[in-house]
């Protein structure tokens, strides 16, 4: 174990050769596993990406959780509970994947609570009506699935495996959202209006979920080199738009984009410019819910501290008692 515990002993002889061997493995589509040698930069990059993803799942429970107690039917309430529960599960899988890189969950959460780590900015928007719950499932989970399917083949083994499991589980999330939208769109006028209003508010933030344009995305190049990602933000965004517009048409709802047109030549939808100023404003704190989200996460963690401590104290008492008997 000595070499493993002191990575400098392994790394020192010839960092360049090790890095070349690492890159060759990545290029050969061999997954990188936790105890394999990896460049320190790769390790830090993966911790950052996986923990941001985990935080997004964990914070993402809050906007929808806001509607559990107001779900309009028992069937919807059960589905919503199950969906949000999955998100806690997905956060747990992802925090574990980050832990394989030598960080702890406590450290990762500490970074979230201090504001050092980011989560998906979409969750800083408020969930105001029941139609928002449908729209989140349809658009936000839809966008997340497009992103996550692309990540199932990411180069870091534990992350890729977590993604496979998450993608499998999330397919119901988008369907439950779309089912809600279908019911509203085919319902009473006020329901249809509610659905359209929700689409108006969530459409652009959903497109922003794919991140800045590739030209403005500082990490893109290295992420491609390490095969952390395989498709660009813009490619994935385009795929999402192409998938979603026919679904909106089916619902009889229109996306709030006057520039949206079908482009015969490219075989894709052209869409209008994204307001990146708004994106950065919300990321940096000017969203309606930024403070509420972080406060909720911090309070849950702080209020739960005595519970976690009690369980550890009890386990240690039990262990001690067992040893005394033996």
Site residues for another protein, window 90-149 (CB under 8 A)? Answer: 91-93, 95-96, 99, 104-106, 110, 130
d(CA 284, CA 48): 18
> Which of 71, 128, 149, 243 forms a contact with another protein (CB under 8 A)?
71
Query: Could you tell me the CA-to-CA distances from 100 to 94, 95, 106, 169, 185 in Å, in that order?
Result: 10, 9, 14, 22, 45
Q: Residue 186 CB, nearest distance to another protein (Å)?
A: 9
Q: Residue 61 CB, nearest distance to another protein (Å)?
A: 4
Helices (H) and strands (E) in the chain, counts: 16, 2
Residue number, 65 or 272, with CB nearest to another protein: 65
Q: Residue 241 CB, nearest distance to another protein (Å)?
A: 28
- Rule CB under 8 A: is residue 20 a binding residue for another protein? no
Residue number, 37 or 204, with CB nearest to another protein: 37
Half-sphere exposure in the Cβ direction for 46 (13 Å, CA): 29
Footprint on residues 30-59 left by another protein (CB under 8 A): 33, 35-37, 58
Q: Residue 152 CB, nearest distance to another protein (Å)?
A: 15
Residues touching another protein, count (CB under 8 A): 72
Binding segment toward another protein, per CB under 8 A, in 216-224, 249-257, 273-281, 308-316: 308-316
Q: Residue 253 CB, nearest distance to another protein (Å)?
A: 17
Binding segment toward another protein, per CB under 8 A, in 40-48, 138-146, 216-224, 311-319: 311-319
Footprint on residues 72-91 left by another protein (CB under 8 A): 72-78, 81-82, 84-86, 88-89, 91
**Structure-token match 């107001």, residue found:** 70
Name which of 205, 199, 202, 206 is nearest 184 in CA terms. 199
Q: Residue 72 CB, nearest distance to another protein (Å)?
A: 4
d(CA 264, CA 210): 24
Name which of 209, 213, 203 is nearest 122 in CA terms. 209
Contacts 24+ apart (CB under 8 A), 288-294: 288/124, 288/125, 288/126, 289/63, 289/123, 289/124, 289/125, 289/126, 290/124, 292/62, 293/59, 293/62, 293/63, 293/119, 293/123, 293/124, 294/112, 294/113, 294/115
- Rule CB under 8 A: is residue 296 a binding residue for another protein? yes
> Which of 8, 17, 29, 188 forms a contact with another protein (CB under 8 A)?
188
Residue number, 23 or 231, with CB nearest to another protein: 23
3-state secondary structure of 17: helix
> Which of 8, 29, 190, 277 forms a contact with another protein (CB under 8 A)?
190
- Rule CB under 8 A: is residue 261 a binding residue for another protein? no
3-state secondary structure of 1: coil
d(CA 96, CA 196): 39
- Rule CB under 8 A: is residue 202 a binding residue for another protein? no
Footprint on residues 154-183 left by another protein (CB under 8 A): 161-162, 165, 169, 180, 183
- Rule CB under 8 A: is residue 318 a binding residue for another protein? yes
């Amino acid at each position: 174990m000595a070499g493993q515990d002191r990575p400098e002993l392994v790394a020192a002889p010839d960092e360049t050769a090790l890095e070349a061997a690492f890159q060759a493995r990545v290029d050969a589509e061999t997954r990188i596993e936790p105890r394999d040698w990896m460049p320190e930069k790769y390790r830090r990059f993966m911790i950052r990406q996986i923990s941001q993803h985990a935080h997004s799942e964990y914070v993402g429970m809050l906007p929808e959780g806001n509607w559990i107690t107001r779900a309009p039917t028992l069937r919807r309430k059960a589905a919503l509970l199950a969906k949000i529960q999955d998100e806690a599960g997905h956060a747990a899988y992802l925090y574990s994947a980050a832990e394989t890189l030598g960080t702890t969950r406590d450290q990762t959460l500490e970074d979230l609570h201090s504001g050092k780590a980011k989560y998906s900015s979409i969750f800083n928007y408020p969930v105001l009506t029941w139609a928002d719950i449908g729209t989140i499932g349809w658009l936000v989970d839809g966008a997340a699935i497009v992103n996550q399917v692309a990540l199932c083949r990411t180069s870091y083994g534990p992350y890729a495996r977590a993604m496979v499991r998450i993608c499998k589980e999330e397919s119901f999330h988008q369907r439950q959202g779309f089912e809600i939208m279908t019911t509203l769109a085919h319902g009473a006028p006020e329901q249809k209006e509610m659905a359209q209003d929700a689409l108006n508010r969530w459409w652009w933030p959903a497109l922003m979920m794919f991140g800045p344009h590739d030209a403005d995305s500082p990490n893109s190049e290295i992420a491609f080199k390490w095969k952390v990602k395989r498709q660009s933000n813009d490619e994935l965004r385009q795929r999402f738009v192409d998938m979603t517009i026919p679904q909106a048409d089916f619902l009889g709802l229109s996306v709030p984009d006057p520039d949206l047109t079908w482009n015969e030549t490219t075989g894709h939808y052209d869409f209008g410019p994204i307001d990146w100023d708004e994106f950065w404003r919300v990321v940096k704190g000017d969203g309606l819910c930024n403070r509420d989200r972080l406060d909720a996460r911090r309070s849950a963690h702080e209020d739960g501290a005595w519970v976690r401590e009690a369980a550890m104290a009890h386990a240690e008492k039990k262990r001690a008692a067992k040893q005394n008997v033996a």
